[in-house]
Amino acid sequence: MGPPSSSGFYMSRAVALLLAGLAAALLLALTVLAALYGHCARVAPSELQDCGVPDAAPSPPGEQDQSPPTRKPDPALEPTVAATPDSWRPPGPWDQMRLPPWLVPLHYELELWPQLRPDELSAPALRFTGRVNITVRCTAASARLLLHSFLLDCDSAEVRGPLSPGTGDATVGRVPVDDMWFALDMQYMVLELREALQPGSLYELQLNFSGPLYQDTREGLFLNVYTDQGERRVLLASQMEPTFARNVFPCFDEPALKATFNITVIHHPSYVALSNMPKLGQSEKEDVNGSKWTITTFYTTPRMSTYLVSFAICDYDHVSRTERGKEIRIWARKDAIANGNADFALNITGPIFSFLEDLLNISYPLPKTDIIALPVFDNRAMENWGLMIFDESLLLLQPDDQLTEKKMVISYLVSHEIGHQWFGNLVTMSWWNNIWLNEGFASYFEFGVINYLYPKLPRNEIFFSNILHDVLKKDHVLVSRAVSTKLENFTETNEINELFDLFTYNKGASMARMLASFLNENLFISALKSYLETFAYSNAEQDDLWRHFQMAIDDQSEIVLPATVKSIMDSWTHQSGFPVITLNVSTGVMKQEPFYLGKVKNQTLLAHNDTWIVPIFWIKNGTTQSLVWLDKSSKVFPEMQVSDSDHDWVILNLNITGYYRVNYDKLGWKKLNQQLEKDPKAIPAIHRLQLIDDAFSLSKNNYIEIETALDLTKYLAEEDEIIVWHAVLVNLVTRDLVYDVNNYDIYPLLKKYLLKRLISIWNIYSTIIRENVAALQDDYLVLISLEKLFEAACLLGLEDCLQLSRELFKNWTNHPENEILYPISTVVLCYGIALGSNKEWDLLLNIYMNNTNEEERIQLAYAMSCSKDPWILHRYMEYAVTMSPSIFNERNIIEDVAESEVGRYIAKDFLINNWQAVWTTIIGDSHVYNRENCKYRFTDHGAAAVFQCHVGGTPEAYNSSQITDSEERKSEKQKPKCQDSCMAMEKHIILCPLSVLPLHIRM
Ligand SMILES: [Zn+2]
């Protein structure tokens, strides 16, 4: 069979064969025959009723299926059912996104045979073949079977049954398959049977199929070509989540349709094959050419979802250890294993498993765990049960990677994927709309694990920096989505992919953390345990989870909630955004209102009447107070009142466990200011961080005056927590502030104001960098904050920062083996070039040309754009345009150049004078790049380049133009809007001179 058609919907295999041999006249005659016999493939929808085409709705369970009653058994007439691939098809269950409920899969016997040999690295069009026997239970009579299959060729399909337990094969009948066709748009394979299957009976679907192995996408079965021990090699791995199992084998590819799997992999004898379960046995076979192949079979899996099926076929080495009697193996390139790169991951994996087993008091049910490190894996990591797959850059630790930051990245990711072994693998959401039950809880438990592995790290600050900060910046009530998406909002399969976003992960984790805060840790864990045990090997909805929390609440009397757990949590997970809580400390009145980006007067009246049920933990003068609830739009809390004459201060949202921002009346802010100036340490660091972050966000979005936020920075000379400084600097020191000529009046003042305060924290860290940089290795918060401090100090022109950059750059160029401390290397390289001459620039170019490490090349390419010499920048852009595109392919050089105050004008001139060359060399056809700043899509309509812009570094303006990522993908029409926004925001946009430019160019 040839590859399946990708151009149409309705493709009958039998018809396709016939069409190939028939003349047009015969086709016409057959079509007429088809109409006569009631197969309405080519008739208009309005004529349907007359033709006896079945209803589009799925058959209700227990009813006889209404599939074509007039279907003719005569095979000679069968082809007339069909059509060319472009023809119309009758409406039917294949138009629905969800499978009809007629069949329930119970077990898969799956055999895959990828035709992969170690010496065939570049063989084009490598394929795999496979066989699957799926045991299904029929729940409603139907002569039409639907299952998922995408881009597979299916060579044969048979249906055996009804199966009677205990009888041999010989007694089992067959149900003839009259036709098989594909609804490509909905990724279904449809089997038309001669007779209906019987409700309550078991059947076996037997399918032989084949499909392509991909190199350029990581979906389904794919190849990685890589170098190991000095040789080019190739391996095969899989990625099924969310909907790619159907690219590998025909299956019922929905998370709730769990089944057991017996997996067999046929592979070249020099490879090892891995799957979810341990190896059961191995044998040999010979193909028709006499080549030998190894057949590896695996033990039966537990009941699990198709998206967790996993394979790897590779020539890798591994390291292993045993944890509580179960083997853990980490697989990687032989070089990496020999260098000990997998040891760190191996050493933490066992303890993480044990920690989570003990915490949840549920044993990991599989007999083994394999983790494999792929040279290229776009998904970062995937939690497949028993065979987790990681990108090697996120699992392996190079010997010189002594920095805690890299260890932390690995620790977080390994914790996350192991967390999924319970949240996702053991208990799975019933449908993708609740994917946050997987991702939110796996993300939340990362922090429990990290706290266990690294008890000295401040957990609240870390949760804020890694999770809350980003999502609070993006979330608001108008354009962002709720954590739990409504079922009816799904219409297309690819919308499932878009759910793997910040809201699912970060907001989901924040929901779990808020819930844990107002229950207590014991109650939280015991409710989760009860939920996991109840739904083990099965599926659950969000409401199932709430029910188990409610049961735990009802079983005790200590914790009293103002409403059911479901009411409380639905107010957070079913609506987008979050509230701003405002406390008037003079009156004790607390109120809530929805948070809008760029609030305008009376906006609340426009769109949002709902409230949240808000848990308020709070502190007064540093003492934690009892939890109160704001369960309506406003309420009075007399205990929160303070007067102007006393020294009290109040802060809401203790440890920022609540998912909201806090505002105060003038007196409330004033008291906090007074305290900060008097004794900042009386306010815990997490709350100094919170005050800065909330105040700047609220002022940016018109809830409070900017002066209120700036007042909070007066004390900063006394601030020695770099994480707090980080929050200040990301809000105050941005490139557009420094480089925008319109800021000529405020910038010098701000610079003076900040430098005066910044100097003390700068002195602390510049001294450590100069004298004992190793002391920073284990300080995670410093490592994630230092770059901003260093960048801001240099950007503001602090002479010592410039001097230190010169020193570090020179030291590195003289002794390249002395690497620059990773977090500050981008800044140091940039200022090394900015403060140097063409000598330094040429040196860096030389290093760049000889460097093959992608991460380092990105840094070096960026650093070269930092020059302040116009001719150097011009030459650099010329190199980028004239040299092979593969040389400067890591970055958009012109955009980098345009980022600086010198470069923007040079880049603009360059673009005008070299538009054609830029177009053909750098841009190519329709290409989108730089998602962070000004985003532009060049179309191939000659002149037009459509720009999408948002304020550099601040996504608010972007969002205020009502465009989200997913909306943007959906509708190209949105773009002009964004362009307007770009124009309107012109003075804030670094690239605006560039961004409006192509509108004036007509090629
Ligand atoms: Zn995950």
CA 170, CA 154: separation in Å to the nearest integer?
25
Taking the CA of residue 564 as centre, how many other CA atoms within 13 Å lie in the half-sphere pointing to its CB? 10
CA of 163 to the centre of ligand 1 (A): 39
The answer to whether the Cα torsion of 694, 695, 701, 703 is positive or negative is positive
Cα of 441 vs centre of ligand 1, distance in Å, is 9
CA of 420 to the centre of ligand 1 (A): 7
d(CA 130, CA 135): 16
Beta-ladder partners of 947: 936
Give tens-digit pLDDT for 684-736: 999 999 999 999 999 999 999 989 999 999 999 999 999 999 999 998 887 76
Q: Could you give the count of Cα atoms lying within 13 Å of 994 in the half-sphere of its Cβ? A: 27
Q: Which residue stretches of the chain have pLDDT < 50?
A: 1-86, 605-606, 923-1003
Say if CB 315 and CB 272 are below 8 A apart: yes
Measured in Å, residue 483 CA sits from the centre of ligand 1 at: 15
Classify the C-alpha dihedral 515-516-518-519 as positive or negative. positive
Instruction: Say what the pLDDT of residue 895 is.
Output: 80
C-alpha–C-alpha distance, residues 265 and 275, integer Å = 9
869 φ/ψ sector (left φ>0, alpha ψ -120 to 50, else beta): beta
Question: Per the structure block, which two tokens stand in for 441?
Answer: 């809880």
371 CA → ligand 1 middle, Å: 15
pLDDT value at residue 741: 66
Query: 416 C-alpha to center of ligand 1: Å?
Result: 6
SS3 781: helix
Structure tokens at 866: 């930092």
Q: Which residues contact 489 (CB under 8 A, 6 or more apart)?
A: 433, 495
Sheet with 650-652: strands ordered across: 623-624, 618-620, 650-652
d(CA 984, CA 978) in angstroms, rounded, equals: 10
Handedness of CA 668, 671, 673, 676 (dihedral sign): negative
Q: How far is CA 581 from CA 450, 576, 614, in A?
A: 31, 16, 9
Contact 898, 994 (CB under 8 A): yes
From the CA of 225, how far away is ligand 1's center (Å)? 26
H or E element, residue 350: helix 343-360
Question: Ligand 1 centroid vs 442 CA: distance in angstroms?
Answer: 6
The SS3 assignment for 313 reads strand
Which residues pair with residue 235 across a beta bridge? 224
In the reported structure, the alpha carbon of residue 415 is separated from the centroid of ligand 1 by a whole-number distance in angstroms of 10
Q: Which residues are catalytic?
A: 417, 505
Is residue 883 classed as helix, strand or coil in its secondary structure?
coil
pLDDT of 597 reads 86
Longest dimension (CA), the chain: 99
Between CA 112 and CA 291 the distance in angstroms is 17
Question: What are the angstrom distances between the C-alpha of 120 and each of 76, 123, 124, 125, 290?
Answer: 44, 5, 9, 11, 17
Report how far ligand 1's centroid is from the alpha carbon of 488 (Å).
24
Q: Determine the pLDDT at residue 963.
A: 30
Distance 186 CA to ligand 1 centre (A): 26
pLDDT of 982 reads: 34
Q: How far is CA 53 from CA 41, 49, 69, in A?
A: 9, 7, 8
Centroid of ligand 1 to alpha carbon of 424 (angstroms): 8
The pLDDT of residue 168: 57
DSSP letters for 730-778: HHH--HHHHH-GGGTTHHHHHHHHHHHHHHHHHHHHHHHHHH-GGGGTT
CA dihedral angle for residue 534, residue 523, residue 614, residue 415, rounded to 10 degrees: -70
Using DSSP's 3-state secondary structure scheme, residue 721 falls into coil
User: Which residue, 264, 279, 242, 12, is CA-closest to 130?
Assistant: 264
Task: Quote the ligand 1 centre to 377 CA distance (angstroms).
Answer: 14
Q: Is 944 exposed, middle or buried (0-12, 13-18, 19+ CB in 10 A)?
A: middle
Residue whose pair of structure tokens reads 């990708």 in the numeric block: 6
Cα torsion 978, 979, 985, 987: sign? positive
Strands 387-391 and 368-374: parallel
Q: Are 511 and 484 in contact (CB under 8 A)?
A: no
Which amino acid appears at position 898 of this protein? A
- What local confidence, expressed as pLDDT, does residue 343 receive? 95
Residue 469 carries which DSSP code? H
CA 632 to centroid of ligand 1, rounded, Å: 34
Residues 6+ apart with CB under 8 A from 873: 865, 867, 897, 902, 903, 906, 907
Residues within 5 Å of ion ligand 1 by Cβ?
A: 439, 442
- According to the model, what pLDDT value does residue 920 have? 63
Q: What are the backbone angles phi and psi of residue 183, rounded to the nearest 5°? A: -95, 90
> What is the per-residue pLDDT for 922?
54
Interatomic CA distance for residues 214 and 824, integer angstroms? 38
* Distance between Cα 486 and ligand 1 center (Å): 21
